[in-house]
Amino acid sequence: MESYEERMRWFKQARFGIYVHFGLYALTGRGEWTMYSERIPAAEYAKLADAFNPKPGCTREWCEAAKNAGANYIVLTTRHHEGFCLFDSKVSDFTSVKRGPHRDIVREFVESARAAGLHVGLYYSLLDWRFPGYFEPEKYPESKEALIRQAHEQVRELMTNYGKIELLEYDGAWDSKYQKKKPDWAEFWQAAKLNAMVRELQPGIIINDRSGKEEDIETPEQVVRAGSKRTSESCMCIGDSCGWGYTRFNPNWKTSEQLLQHLIQAAQLDGNYLLNIGPAPDGSVRNEELERLQALGNWLNSNGEAVYGAQACDLIGASQPGYIDLNLQGPWTRKGNIGYWCIFRWPGTVATAVRVATPVKSVTMLATGQQFDFQWNPATGRLKVLGLPALPPDALCTVLKVEFEDIPRRKPEEDLSAWLQA
Ligand code: JFZ
């Protein structure tokens, strides 16, 4: 088996993916947890399957939106907690092939993604609310066993029937009473056996941490956070966090600025950003999402070098400054000896960075290539970039590309008051 680094190479270069939450829940307009949160009986909820009729070509629309956003991979919910499969399955009649559109949406999706040049990821929820054995495994042991069998069989189908799958996003491994820990979940789902089968069928695949086993990536949700042991992939909705699936009235849309700050912060933390869209019942992508994805894509078109394949930089700065790293302008990402100062809060004609220990060779505006004069004081570590435009060159974020003589390092401050008399 290839090394972890080899497996992760495309993922760390990609940095930015699009999550697609699509299923019967889109028809409710109230999000993907509607069946459970409104305690809709399974037989009543299942009637939605015959009204489910996504327009032909909707998967191409999702992939086009992802490309326009500057994303490099895309992940589709093949089956969410509601149990409805967007793929053909020998172990379920509750699928988009046997009901509703009588189409294999997952097959359309993987073909659209590959045609668009996107890396392909599949999401699969282990739990399925239709099984009493999920909620009361001791009370309904046969149902619990049937649920686990379904999970193993359907993951096998997804890993066998749809060509090369590069990313598997499990979900729903938690116990229904939220009283157990991940190792117990792994035992419940027989995750070691399941993931061995996945890696046998799909050598090189990246598996997330939501089968109860750590595997390859950590998946902080609705927050951008570094991985504690492995590369992180921070996943987030554009609207309120309760609505991954289509939520018709979802007033709290994050701004393009906020989404870009999240993306850059993820790269700054050596992680990825997986941003969600929740297509409408007919499969179309709503304007509130398209507009924001396009804004990200326009920015990445000129500044993607600061994100794709970029990694953590030792210099002070964060999208949302903490009190220790108070660089009000914005965070740094890095590639080798190049630092990318991603300035969200434009300072005017002079930009000052502090505690820069490494000699500076040049400063240019990434989007234009324009060079700027600078002063770097080796004694104090202060870097002042001079002659900048008075007004922000980019409405979202302007990147200054700074070439250093070595990997940029933060200057220690033995005496925190030393700068006063510098
Ligand atoms: C899960 C799903 O329940 C949700 O619908 C969506 O698909 C999201 C991406 O994943 O949501 C979670 C999963 C894990 C936690 C919280 C919400 N958690 O561990 O706290």
Pairing of strands 351-353, 311-312: unpaired
220 CA from centroid of ligand 1 (Å): 10
Residues with Cβ within 8 Å of 47's Cβ and at least 6 positions away in sequence, in order, are: none
Is residue 173 within 8 Å of 212, Cβ to Cβ? Answer: yes
Q: Coil, strand, or helix at residue 325?
A: coil
Largest CA distance in the chain: 76
Residue with tokens 């435009």: 389
- Select from 24, 221, 234 the residue to mutate for testing ligand 1; criterion: most ligand atoms less than 8 Å from CB: 221
Positive/negative CA dihedral, 33, 37, 38, 44: positive
User: Of 168, 239, 238, 224, which Cα lies nearest the Cα of 200?
Assistant: 168
Phi, psi torsion values for 245, nearest 5 degrees: -80, 165
The label of the residue with tokens 């004081």 reads: 377
* Three-state DSSP state, 186: helix
What ligand 1 atom has the least distance to the C-alpha of 169?
9
Give CA separation, 283 vs 59, 110, 176, 224, 364, in Å. 8, 15, 30, 28, 43
Q: Is 362 helix (H, G, I), strand (E, B) or coil?
A: strand
Report helix angle 58-68 to 287-303, nearest 10: 40
pLDDT at 178: 87
Ligand 1: residue whose CA is nearest its atom 16: 221
**Angle of the 182-189 helix axis to the 141-161 helix axis, nearest 10:** 80
**Which ligand 1 atom is the nearest neighbour of the CA of 245?**
5
Nearest CA, atom 15, ligand 1? 221
Q: Among 181, 244, 273, which is best to mutate for testing ligand 1, by the most ligand atoms less than 8 A from CB? A: 244
How many angstroms separate the alpha carbon of residue 171 from the centre of ligand 1? 7
Work out the angle at residue 235's Cα, subtended by the Cα atoms of residues 230 and 239, and round it to the nearest 5 degrees. Answer: 165
- Regarding pTM above 0.95, the answer is yes
| Per-residue model confidence (pLDDT) at position 326 | 67
Residue from 33, 75, 171 whose mutation best tests the ligand 1 pocket (most atoms within 8 A of CB): 171
Report CA 243 to chain centroid distance, whole Å. Answer: 15
DSSP letter at 159? Answer: H
Nearest CA to ligand 1 atom 4: 244
**Would you give per-residue pLDDT tens digits along the chain (422 residues)?**
789 999 999 999 999 999 999 999 999 999 999 999 999 999 999 999 999 999 999 999 999 999 999 999 999 999 999 999 999 999 999 999 999 999 999 999 999 999 999 999 999 999 999 999 999 999 999 999 999 999 999 999 999 999 999 999 999 999 999 888 888 999 999 999 999 999 999 999 999 999 999 999 999 999 999 998 999 999 999 998 778 999 999 889 999 999 999 999 999 999 999 999 999 999 999 999 999 999 999 999 999 999 999 999 999 876 555 555 566 899 999 999 999 999 999 999 999 999 999 999 999 999 999 999 999 999 999 999 999 999 999 999 999 999 999 999 999 988 888 889 88
Closest protein CA for atom 17 of ligand 1: 221
The token pair at 43 is 């037989």
Cα 267 from Cα 208, distance rounded (Å): 18
Looking from the CA of residue 19, the nearest atom of ligand 1 is 9
Can you tell me the distance from the alpha carbon of 18 to that of 127, in angstroms, rounded to the nearest whole number? 23
In one-letter notation, the amino acid at residue 143 is S
Question: Any idea what the Cα angle at residue 81 is, between residues 76 and 84, rounded to 5°?
Answer: 70
Q: What is the pLDDT of residue 325?
A: 58
Residue type, 193: K
The neighbour count for residue 335, using CB atoms within 10 Å, is 15
> Starting at the edge strand that comes first in sequence, how are the strands of the sheet with 332-335 ordered?
311-312, 332-335, 338-343, 398-404, 360-365
pLDDT on residue 320? 56
CA distance 180 to 174: 8
Residues within 6 Å of ligand 1 by CB: 32-33, 171, 221, 235, 244
What is the whole-number distance in angstroms between the Cα of residue 247 and the centre of ligand 1? 16
